[in-house]
Amino acid sequence: MRQKISQQPIKERVKNFFEVALGFSKEDAEKEAARCIQCKNPSCVKGCPVEIDIPAFIKLIKEGKRKEALEKIKEKNNLPGGFSRADNYKYR
Ligand code: SF4
């Protein structure tokens, strides 16, 4: 089941410039990662402009290996925070 990312409440965020999306808890991130079916021909990688091995880093998150997951992302992208914002907003 899709996990809902926690967000700063609207009444608070209209008064500041802090992050709106507050991220997943470790448990929710692992639940969300468990939704990936590890496709043989992953369209996520084909759609990624820097071809991050998305199934691999998701698998690492599912296994609770967050540091290794970040290292996997950084193999192809040294600015994951910036890219995640661009991706995140693209689908809103
Ligand atoms: S994240 Fe990629 S590998 Fe996982 S289900 Fe989606 S397309 Fe398939």
Write down the domain spans for the chain.
6-90
* pLDDT over 60 (residue 90): no
pTM equals: 0.83
Non-local (6+) Cβ contacts of 25 within 8 A are 6
Per DSSP, the three-state class of 15 is: coil
Q: Is 25 in the pocket of ligand 1 (CB under 6 A)?
A: no
Q: How far is the CA of 46 from the centre of ligand 1 (A)?
A: 11
- Kindly report the CATH class assigned to 6-90: mainly alpha
Q: Contact at 8 Å (CB) between 68 and 90? A: no
Give the Cβ contact number of residue 6 at 10 Å: 12
Q: Is 34 in the pocket of ligand 1 (CB under 6 A)?
A: no
Radius of gyration for the alpha carbons in the chain, expressed in angstroms and rounded:
14
The residue whose CA has the least distance to atom 6 of ligand 1 is 36
pLDDT digits (tens, 9 = 90+) for 43-52: 999 999 899 9
pLDDT digits (tens, 9 = 90+) for 22-79: 989 999 999 999 999 999 999 999 999 899 999 999 999 999 999 999 999 999 988 8
pLDDT at site 88: 60
